[in-house]
Structures are given as structure tokens and as C-alpha cells.
Amino acid sequence: MAYVESAAVLYLRTIYGGVDPVGPRHTPFDPLPDFVWIEIGREAATLVMLAAVGYLAGTRLAGRIGAFAVAFGIWDIFYYVFLWLFAGWPTSPLAPDVLFLIPLPWWGPVLSPVLLAALVVVAGAAAMARELGDGLPRPRRADMIAILAGGGLCLVAFMANALLALPDGGIEAAYYSRGGPFPWPMYALGMVLGGAGLLRSLTRAEKTAA
């Protein structure tokens, strides 16, 4: 799926002439191009396919969510691997990219979604292992809160520019918003918080098993 996704994006970016599906806004009244809505639909269809993988791979809700997380994380990582193999891009882990368009544009350096995707894969694999009866206890509420809060902070970091543009300019301004430094402190806090919650839950699992 990552191969197909990267090939499709490569074709679209070659035709469109860049990595940004929205492009610059020439006047305050520029409507969003039809291309953007097609791209949003493609991303939504990809999520449906990944959700189907999760549903078929698990038997209960937690396991299915975990399987979806594993599939999503692997897809996200190898999407960039295949783009690099096909086109030599990204040339740097810090190369900026439009990461996603749902519910608002995610914008940031390539390294940021890859690191988060790796954390998502570990969390999803733990949920799947727990469903299979591998001895992992349910995570404590505090650990779950830390994981969810950390993930939420990372998402806010990705969508920060769009969220700031939304109140004054509406949805179109949010989709055209670009520029500004990536909020690394917010993202790093989210990664540390989520990673700490995940580590605590897995460490507790090892102590319980011992």
C-alpha cells in the first residue's frame, strides 16, 4: 500500500509541479483547487483501506485499533522510503512536506511523522500482543492519558499553522496557510509524553510477567 501511495503521489506531484497540493494563494479570494478535494478523497480512501486491514487482523476493538495503528505507521514510514527510492526525495530528514490534509493540512519536516509513526507501530503492536494473550496487562489510565495527550500535541504541532489561520480566514485560509518554523518544542513534548506513557506501560508489563 505504501508503494502504491508513493507512486500515485509521485505522479500527481510531477504533474502539479511540487510537493504542495494547494500551492500559493495569489489573492485572498482564491478558492481551493478541485485537486485538493480529490486529494482529500484519496487520503480518506486510504484510511478506509487501512481500517479494513485493522478490522480483519483483530478480533476485538483494542486489537483492531492496534492492527490499524501498525498498518498506518508502517504505511507512513515506507511511503517516504519509496518516494526516496523513486525520486531521491526527501533529500534530507528535515525536508518540509504536506503530511496529510484531514481534517486540516499537516505541515512539517519529514522526520517528524516518521518518528511518530514508529511510536504508533510500537503502541499498536503492544495492543495486538495483548489481544493474543502474550501476558501484557492493560495499560493504566495514567499511561493511556499520557499516550493520547502526547499524540494530540503532535497533531496540534502538525496543524498549528492551519489552526491559527482558521478563526479569521475560514477553511480556505487554513488550507492555504504555510510558512513559519515548525513548533519543535510542542512536538517534542508530545513525543516525550507519549513515549513515556508507552514505555511505562511496557515496563510494567515486564515486571508483571516476572
Is 123 exposed, middle or buried (CB count within 10 Å of its CB: 0-12, 13-18, 19+)? buried
Specify whether the CB–CB gap between 54 and 115 falls below 8 A.
no
Ranges of each domain in the chain? 2-209
| Mean pLDDT across the chain | 85
- % of the chain with per-residue pLDDT over 90: 48
Q: How many angstroms separate the CA atoms of 179 and 105, rounded?
A: 12
pLDDT band at residue 26, thresholds of 50, 70 and 90? very low
* pLDDT tens digits for range 147-190: 999 999 999 999 998 998 888 888 888 877 776 789 999 999 99
pLDDT at residue 153, rounded to an integer: 97
φ, ψ at 136 (rounded to 5°): -80, 120
